[in-house]
Structure 1
Amino acid sequence: MRQAVPGPRVVGEAAPGGGPGRLSLTRTGLGVIGAGLVFGPAGWATGYRDSLLLGLGCLLAAGAALAWVLPSPGVTASRTLVPPRTERGGRAVATVQVVRTGKRARRGLQLSDGTDDQRVVVRVPVAKAGTRIVADYEIPTPRRGIISVGPLELVVRDPFGLFQRAHRFGAMAELVVRPRMVRLPVPASGRDPHLDGTTSNAVNGATSAFHALRAYVAGDDRRLVHWRSSARTGVLMVRQMADVSRPHTTVLLDTDPMNYTTPQGTYSEESFELAVDVSASVAGSAALTAFPVRLHAGAEVLVKGDSTDAGGVLDALAEVSPGGGGGLGRAISALTGSRGGGSLVVVTSVLAGAAPARMVSAVHGNFDRVLVIQAGSPLAGQTGRTAPAAPAPGTPSPRGGVGVFTLDTLDELPLAWKRMSVG
C-alpha cells in the first residue's frame, strides 16, 4: 500500500527502533480530567447525583483512553532520503515506510515527519501483520544550507482524543542543499602545458613529480618499481607520478557583506547567492575534471591544499554565509605567499565597483591568469535612481592585466567563461 503525500522529499535513512514512547495529555484530555476532578467530588459532597455521575464518567473515559494508548503500536518505521544532497532549488524526496509487526491491528495511528518549516502527517490505515505502508513527500529546497529532517514519530491517539503517545524511530537526518553550478572547461594555465592541451593523466618525465606508491599492474614501467617498499611489503610497488604542469585553480569568494550592499544600505541576498553559485561552478568544474583547486571564502580557507574532491567543494559552499572576515583586501593579501602559477578567480558583486580589480592587481604576478567575476545586476535593490555604468553582462574587460566581466545570471557564465578562456 502506498500513499502519495504532497510536500518535501528527503535523503538518508532512519533505522527502525521506536522507544517506550512519550506520553502526553491533550487539551481535551486536560479538560475532561479537570471536569472529573471537579464534578465528582462536588457531587459526592453535595449529594447531587448527576454531578457525581458526570465526574465519574469523565474519569472513566480518561482511564479508557489511557489504556488505549499504553500498549505497543506493533509497527516499525524507517525513512529514506533520496538524494542526501541536492542543489538549491533541486528535488529531494523522503520515503517513509511503516511495517505492521503486531498481531492486533491498531486504529488511530499517525506518522509525523518533516522539517522545522513543514511537518507532514500520514494516517496509518488498519492492516494485517506484515503489511508495508509507504508514503512519499517532497522537501522544498529554496535556500542553501543544512536541512534537519525529523524526528520520525508514530503518534497513537485514543478515540476520544484525550491522550497521545509518540514513538520515535531512528535519529535526525540531514539534507545538504548545495549551491547551483554549471560545468565549465578548465582554462589552460601552468608552467609547462602539454602541446595537445591540458590532461589529468599522470605523465612520466621532466614535468612529473612523485605522488604516491601503489601496487604494480601489468603494463607499468619497470623503471618505476620502488624496490625498498616492495621488499618490505612483499608486494611489487611502483611510484605513481603526477603531472606538475596540470592547471590548478584558486577561487576566492568575497564574503564581505559591505560589497553586497546597495547605496540605500540594503543587503542584496540575490547577488550573494549568485556569487556563491559562480564560485561553485568554477571550483566544482575544476575538481570534476580532476584538476587541483583551492577554495577561499573571504579570509577563511574552505578547501586546503590542492583538492580534486568536487563533492567536498560543494559541501563547503553549502554553509557559506556573508561575514566580514577582515574584508576582501585582507583575503587577497593572504594570497601573496601562494606559490606561482595557476589561475586565480575572485568572485564578488557588481555592487562592489572597480575596487576588487585594483586589489587583485597586487597579487597579479603570483598567478598565470587572474580573473574577477562580478555577479549581480547593478540595479539590484535600487529603486528610483540610475545605476552607475557597468560593462555589458558577460563581456570581459581587462584592467591592468586582470580580466574582469560581469554576470546578471548564472546562465550567462558558460559563454562568458569561454570568451575569457580564449582571450
Structure 2
Amino acid sequence: MAEFEGGDVGSIFRPTEEEDCCPFTIYLQTVSCGGDDSSDLVNNPAALLSGERKTVREIAEAVSFELDCSRETLISSNELVREHCLVGEARPSLIHEVADGISDRIHSVGISVQHVLSHECSSLPIFTGVGIESTLEQKGSHDEIVLNGLCSGKVSEVFGEQGFGVIKDLVSNDPVVTQAAARVREHIASMMKTVSMVQQINEQDRIKYCEVMQRDVGRFDIALDDAPGLREFVSYASFGLAEINDLEVAHDHWDAERAPWLEVIDACLGADNYEYCRTGVVVSTGGCRATSRQYWHADGQEELAPRQAVCLFIPLCDLTNTSGFTSFWPGSQLYKQSSLLEHGLPDKMPEGAIIQGKVNYGDCIVYDYKLIHRGEANHMQEGEMRPIVYVIYTVHGYSEPNFNVSSIYDVLSRPSRTEDPATAAAVDSSLS
C-alpha cells in the first residue's frame, strides 16, 4: 500500500516502488461538504491524466489510494502555484508528475466553479519577523512569510500567489497609530452626524461625496487625508513617498522615519516603485441598521494587469464573528474577475477557498487591490461600529478614483431645502 506523508493540508502522497502505477506526487486537501453526498465533486472532470480526463476517485484509484473522505480535491505545491492557468471558468489545481525525482510536466486539473481556488492557503498568511511587543525600536524584518505553518518564502513571492497577508501585532504600541485612532473615532462621530443631517434634508440621498461615500446600508467610507488631527498620521504613512501639499508636521513626534508596515509594502510593490495614495476609514454599523454582508468584489478593476496597488487595513477593534470581518479569496487577484464572478459565488465555499480575516487590534492586513473579498455583517449592538482604517499605496501613475468630487457640506450650505426648523438650526450650527 502507498505511503502517506504528513496527514494535514498539503500532505504528500507517494506510491511505493512495488506498486504498478503512474509516478505522480499528488497534493491532497480534504474539503468538508456538510453532507454525505460526494458525487458532486467526484463526478466532475478533475484532471488530465495521460491525456484522458479523470475524476478525483479515478486518480486516487490510479495510485492505489483509498478515497475515504467525503470529498478530496487536488491542490498544487507552493512552488507551482504561479505556474497554472484557468481551465474554463475555474482555477485549476495541479498534478505534479515526477520522473527520477525531477518534475518534468504539470497536468492541469479543472474543477467546478463551486470549488475554485481551494488550495493550501487554508488560514491567514502571517508575515513573520515582527517582535512580540512590536515597538518601533524593535521592529524586525518582514522578509519571510508563513502559510498555515506549512511553508515559507519571500513576502514578494507568497504575496504574489495569495494576494494578501497579516502582520501580527505590528501597531499595538505604536504612538502615532494610537493617537490617530482616537482622532479617527472623533471624526467618525462628527461625520455621521453630518450624514444624518443630509439624510434629513434628502431621505433619498445615498451619500456620495468627496468626504464620505455610502457603500451599502450601514456601511460608510470616510476620507481621512484632510480630517482634523490626522496630519501626523498621514505624514507618517507617506513619509519618504509622495509629497503631501501644505503638510507641515515635525517628524520628531515618532521614533522611526517610516511607518513600520512600509517594509512590507516595499516587498509587495517594489521599493521606490510606488507612492502614497490616500487614507480613509470604513465604518460598519450595528443594531437595527446592521450591515449585511457585501457582495464579492475587488477594489481594483483592471483585469489581468500587473499589480498596481495594495491596501493596508488597520482595524481599530478586534475583528470577530460579532463585530464582523473581511473575507478574502486567496489567489483570485491572478485571474479575470469577470470569469470568477460571472455566476456569483455560493453561500458556502469549501474549506481553504475563503479565508476569514479575523484579526485583533494591533494586527494589520495587506492585500492586493485586485483580490476578491467582501465585508461581513456587523452583529454588534445599536450604535456600535466596526472602524477599519485603510491606507492605499499605488505604483507610479496609477489613478484610484473612489470618491465623488462634490462636497457634502455644499448640501448643508443650502438650508432652504430643509423644512424642519430644528434641522435647519442644526445645519446652521454645523457651519458656524
TM-score tier, shorter chain, comes to: under 0.3
Structure 1 length as normaliser, TM-score? 0.26
Higher helix fraction (1 or 2):
1
Greater C-alpha Rg: 1
Structure 2 length as normaliser, TM-score? 0.25
Higher strand fraction (1 or 2):
1
Q: Greater relative contact order (Cα 8 A, min sep 6): structure 1 or 2?
A: 2
